[in-house]
Amino acid sequence: MAGRADARRGADGTRERCPAGSGNGAVVRVLDGSGRSERLNPWPLASAMPPLAAITTAPACARAYLVTVLASWHMNQRAAELQLIVSELAANAVAASADKSGSPWYIEGRMPVIRVCLLSDWALLRVEVWDQAPGIPLLRSPGDLDESGRGLALVDHLSTRWGWHPAAGQPGKCVWAEVPLPGAASEPLRA
């Protein structure tokens, strides 16, 4: 589990979550006691998708969003892998938001939602999928004949690292994965 998050109220009254300090494009460094510079904003590039109903169409919407954002950031190098990752994470979030028959667990009469955030520091791309569901991600070791239990194994294989942390102050969690950008230009000069 890792990551910091703040919460903002969206226009629709729901909570919008994204890593603290993201989204403003600012890149900040300060000198620590030893004189080394230390990054305050680990993800200067950030984009949060509006909440998606936690239903089976969500993974496709998340993929389309990811492709669009990566293109606008000129970071298409890992688009194929990232589409698989966001798809698996979104599918898991949707599954966790529903009962065994596939009907969404309504929360105080409202459809559960998932949220997708993309973050980058030009060297790494991070995908976050937030849900409002119980349960935690468990990396399984499926046998040859098992029909499920492969999603997180794929994420584990495709990403440098992945993890999750609970959402602060409300049900649910953030499941995230990070992928390096091959040949990414070194980080721009930072103040």
Ligand X SMILES: Nc1ncnc2c1ncn2[C@@H]1O[C@H](COP(=O)(O)OP(=O)(O)OP(=O)(O)O)[C@@H](O)[C@H]1O
Two tokens, residue 25:
């494009």
Q: How far is the CB of 49 from ligand X (least distance, A)?
A: 16
Q: How far is the CB of 84 from ligand X (least distance, A)?
A: 11
Residue 87 binds Mg ion (CB under 5 A): no
Minimum CB distance to Mg ion smaller for 29 or for 140: 140
Q: Which of 83, 92, 120, 132 binds Mg ion (CB under 5 A)?
A: 92
What does the binding site for ligand X look like in residue numbers (CB under 6 A)? 88, 92-93, 95-96, 131, 133, 135-138, 140, 148-153, 175
C-alpha distance from residue 67 to each of 83, 89, 143, 161, 164 (Å): 8, 16, 32, 21, 23
Residue 151 binds Mg ion (CB under 5 A): yes
Two tokens, residue 160:
């440098």
Q: How far is the CB of 77 from ligand X (least distance, A)?
A: 25
Residue 138 contact, options ligand X, Mg ion, none, Cβ 5-8 Å cut-off depending on partner type: ligand X
Minimum CB distance to ligand X smaller for 46 or for 174: 174
Tell me the window of 37-45, 49-57, 150-158, 177-185 that interacts with Mg ion (CB under 5 A). 150-158
Count of residues that interact with Mg ion, criterion CB under 5 A: 2
Q: How far is the CB of 164 from ligand X (least distance, A)?
A: 7
Phi and psi based region of residue 135 (left: phi greater than 0; alpha: psi -120 to 50; beta: remaining): left
Minimum CB distance to Mg ion smaller for 47 or for 92: 92
Chain residue whose CB lies nearest Mg ion: 151
Q: How far is the CB of 155 from Mg ion (least distance, A)?
A: 9
Nearest to 117 by CA among 26, 50, 61, 179: 50
Residue the block writes with tokens 């909440």: 51
Q: Determine contact, residues 129/175, Cβ cutoff 8 Å.
A: yes
Which positions touch Mg ion (CB under 5 A)? 92, 151
